[in-house]
Amino acid sequence: MKKVTLSLLLLFSLIVLTACGGSGGSSGAGGDGVQEMTIKFSHVVAENTPKHQGALAMKEYIERESDGAITVEIYPNSSLFGDQDEYQNLVSNNVQFIAPDLTKFVGNNPQFNVPALPFMFENDDEAIAFWDGEKGQEILGSLKDDGVVGLSMWPNGGKHLTNNKRAIDSPDDLEGLKFRTQGGQVLEAIYSELGAGSESIPFGELYTALDQGVVDGQENTFSNIESRKFDEVQTHMTVMNHTRVDYAVFTNTEFWDSMNAATKEIVQAGLDEGTKVAREEAKTLNEKAYETIKERGLVEIVELTPEQIEEFRAALEPIYAEFEEEIGTDVYEAAREAAGQ
Ligand code: LMR
């Protein structure tokens, strides 16, 4: 009898202890309240860019709505992790959010090449429609074996060519030049199709690489060109919009699943706020950046005519057949549908 009473007492104490979460009531993962935590968001671009503005909006929302229980630390300009190590550190949960250019993940899944498909999307809305759609979501979910998931696509915009050798207004003009790319088979194939060389270089090292002539040129959005002052070390820019920089916010699934309902609700709503701001700001910031580049007057600018764009489009058409098997006919179809083609 005494033994049974003792066992019951023990069991009761255990239940009470478990219900308290053992880690401080409302601040513990087992409690119902918002958990106290610090979340790190690392990225490689400057502060006056759509990605950073989205991250800031996310931070402000989460810190306000959690009454300061959650702190979001943003690390721009590769100040915490760069292109080379941010993914590995997300996998290890040393950082909880990163928002890389999707073409940097082609090593994990070649379908991340979509933003590099030449002249596929004309604007942010088309790219957003693809990534928000069924195929896009499937691709963003394809890293789950690494414990990583893409939660939301954030656009930057169309890319344009800069170089320090000559004005480029036709496909032949690239012959013999060497360009830096964000990486990936499709971007590499684009340059080789045009008789040029290419090399993948981390974003944080690009200014120096251009300055020292490691490569002659690069392709990027106005916002990245302007905020990183690539025009200081380049002499020509061709407005092309031939490929894109698009991001997704990726998180570590172990971290994501560790949040209780109240905490996750705030973090998810903060992410939604960030998505809204990043999507709203992308076009405006790129337009503003283009104006600033023109005002600075450091590069000679070529704006391609529709006929010249057609020439580039025709020259790059073989890329589609070359990668159809690897990327998938279904992905091409979904992208074309999102682009209204
Ligand atoms: C680049 O490496 O050029 C860009 O993808 C950087 C970025 O994150 O926008």
Instruction: Write the DSSP string, 164-203.
Output: SS----SGGGGTT-EEEES--HHHHHHHHHTT-EEEE--G
The pTM of this model reads 0.90
Exposed e or buried b per residue across 36-53, where buried means at least 16 C-beta atoms within 10 angstroms of its C-beta: bbebbbbbbbbebbbbbb
Closest CA to 272 of 26, 47, 62: 62
Question: 281: Cβ–Cβ under 8 A, 6 or more apart, which residues?
Answer: 50, 53, 54
Distance from the CA of 32 to the center of ligand 1, in angstroms?
39
By alpha-carbon position, which residue is closest to atom 5 of ligand 1? Answer: 101
Atom of ligand 1 nearest to the CA of 156: 9
- In this structure, are residues 222 and 49 in contact, taking their beta carbons and an 8 Å threshold? no
DSSP 84-134: TTHHHHHHTTSSSEE--BGGGGTTT-GGGGGGGSTT--SSHHHHHHHHHSH
Q: What structural domains and CATH numbers belong to the chain?
A: 35-338 (3.40.190.170)
By alpha-carbon position, which residue is closest to atom 2 of ligand 1? Answer: 203
Closest CA to 322 of 152, 132, 192, 134: 192
By alpha-carbon position, which residue is closest to atom 1 of ligand 1? Answer: 203
Atom of ligand 1 nearest to the CA of 83: 2
Distance from the CA of 84 to the center of ligand 1, in angstroms?
12
Give the Cα separation of 218 and 185 in Å (integer): 16
Residue 16's pLDDT band (cuts 50, 70, 90): very low
pLDDT, tens only, 30-40: 568 999 999 99
Distance from the CA of 3 to the center of ligand 1, in angstroms?
67
| Mean per-residue pLDDT over the chain, rounded | 92
Residue listed under structure tokens 């959005």: 221
More confident residue, 274 or 9: 274
Which residue out of 112, 162, 182, 208 has the highest number of ligand 1 atoms within 8 Å of its CB and is therefore the one to mutate?
A: 182
Atom of ligand 1 nearest to the CA of 99: 8
pLDDT, tens only, 215-268: 999 999 999 999 999 999 999 999 999 999 999 999 999 999 999 999 999 999
Distance from the CA of 205 to the center of ligand 1, in angstroms?
11
Atom of ligand 1 nearest to the CA of 104: 5
Give the Cα separation of 258 and 201 in Å (integer): 35
Atom of ligand 1 nearest to the CA of 180: 3
Distance from the CA of 221 to the center of ligand 1, in angstroms?
9
Closest CA to 283 of 68, 127, 176, 143: 127
Cα angle 142-147-149, degrees, rounded to a multiple of 5: 50
pLDDT at 12 over 90: no
In this prediction, residue 27 carries a pLDDT of: 46
Which residue out of 97, 224, 227, 243 has the highest number of ligand 1 atoms within 8 Å of its CB and is therefore the one to mutate?
A: 224
Phi, psi for 306 (deg, rounded to 5): -55, -35
Give the Cα separation of 216 and 231 in Å (integer): 12
Percent of the chain with pLDDT over 90: 91
Helices marked H in the chain: 2-19, 50-65, 86-91, 124-132, 134-140, 185-193, 206-211, 222-227, 253-258, 261-296, 306-316, 318-327, 329-338
What is the CB-side half-sphere exposure of residue 270 using CA atoms within 13 A? 24
Distance from the CA of 13 to the center of ligand 1, in angstroms?
55
Distance from the CA of 250 to the center of ligand 1, in angstroms?
15
DSSP 284: H
3-state secondary structure of 244: strand
> Which residues does a 6 A CB cutoff place in the pocket of ligand 1?
44-45, 101, 156, 182, 203, 220, 224, 245
Cα dist. 35→17, 50, 67, 240, 258 in Å? 18, 29, 11, 47, 10
pLDDT, tens only, 81-135: 999 999 999 999 999 999 999 999 999 999 999 999 999 999 999 999 999 999 9
Distance from the CA of 276 to the center of ligand 1, in angstroms?
20
Distance from the CA of 203 to the center of ligand 1, in angstroms?
6
